[in-house]
Amino acid sequence: MSDGEVRVLRDGGVATILFDRPQARNAMTWQMYEGLHVACVELSRDDSVRVAVLRGVGGKAFIAGTDIAQFKEFKSGEDGIAYEVTMENYLGALEALPMPTLAVVEGWAIGGGLAIAACCDLRIATPGTKFGVPIARTLGNCLSVANYARLVTALGAARTKRMMLMAENVPAEDALAAGFLMEIAEPAALDERVAAICERLKGNAPVTMRVTKEAIRRLQHAGIPNGDDLVRAAYGSEDFREGVHAFVDKRPPQWKGR
């Protein structure tokens, strides 16, 4: 299966970042994460870009998580620490883009896909879209504290706990009610609504939007505690290794609690 790619299209001040691996529901490979980072670095230096749109190719998924087979290489909790540090570099670059970012979510936004959507400033979705991080049912790992903070900010503590502990996917309607989505659009009207939102953003003061984004980013990240001990505990566990192999083997995991 292809490692996929991240492509950037430019059109009249709007840059569209495309996650292109539709045969795997755009599940992110290391190559795709690196491609996202490169795209963010390039866009951050391009004053002609007024809006960045993030979208999955194929219309059936935004991003269905990280390609789980890659986790088979992990041997200890330190691998989890290194992974989360790298992911934070990628997500942080997206979050720090100076222009408004809009996630266009069709279908699944799971795991890393939800994290990427949460790093965007605005989100629009189609009916039937699902958001979730079902790792309590699948892998037995955890999120970084920074990503937990993003989800609590976006969805609230109660919804985040239910989503994580019950390993439930949040439907678009609940995400809209929580304020995570700005709207739900029918597929036939989606492109028109995306274009209208981008046009509105392009007409607003770039400096105001840039400093507003940065102010909110600083508030969200102020006082986030160190969570390396939690990451080590999860990624260094027998359950995580069992979860990864069970997922790849397409069988139910047998949890031991250690």
Residues 254 and 240: their CA atoms lie apart, in Å, by 10
Q: What is the pLDDT of residue 69?
A: 81
Domain for residue 143, yes or no? yes
The beta-carbon contacts of 174-177 under 8 Å, at least 24 apart in sequence, are: 175/123, 175/125, 175/129, 175/131, 176/125
Q: What is the pLDDT of residue 67?
A: 83
Note the pLDDT tens digit of each residue in 117-142.
999 999 999 999 999 999 999 999 99
Residues 171 and 168: their CA atoms lie apart, in Å, by 9
- In this model, does residue 223 exceed pLDDT 90? no
What lies within 8 Å, CB to CB, of 177 at 6+ separation is none
What CATH number did the domain enclosing 137 receive? 3.90.226.10
Domain for residue 243, yes or no? no
Contact call for residues 65 and 113 (beta carbons, < 8 A) = yes
Tell me the residue range of the domain where 69 lies.
5-186
Report the domain count for the chain.
Answer: 1
Distance linking the first and last C-alpha atoms of the chain: 33
Q: What is the pLDDT of residue 71?
A: 87
pLDDT band at 2 (very low <50, low <70, confident <90, very high): confident
Domain for residue 43, yes or no? yes
Domain for residue 129, yes or no? yes
Q: What is the pLDDT of residue 72?
A: 87
Domain for residue 177, yes or no? yes
Note the pLDDT tens digit of each residue in 195-221.
999 999 999 999 999 999 999 999 999
Domain for residue 204, yes or no? no
What is this structure's pTM?
A: 0.94
Domain for residue 224, yes or no? no
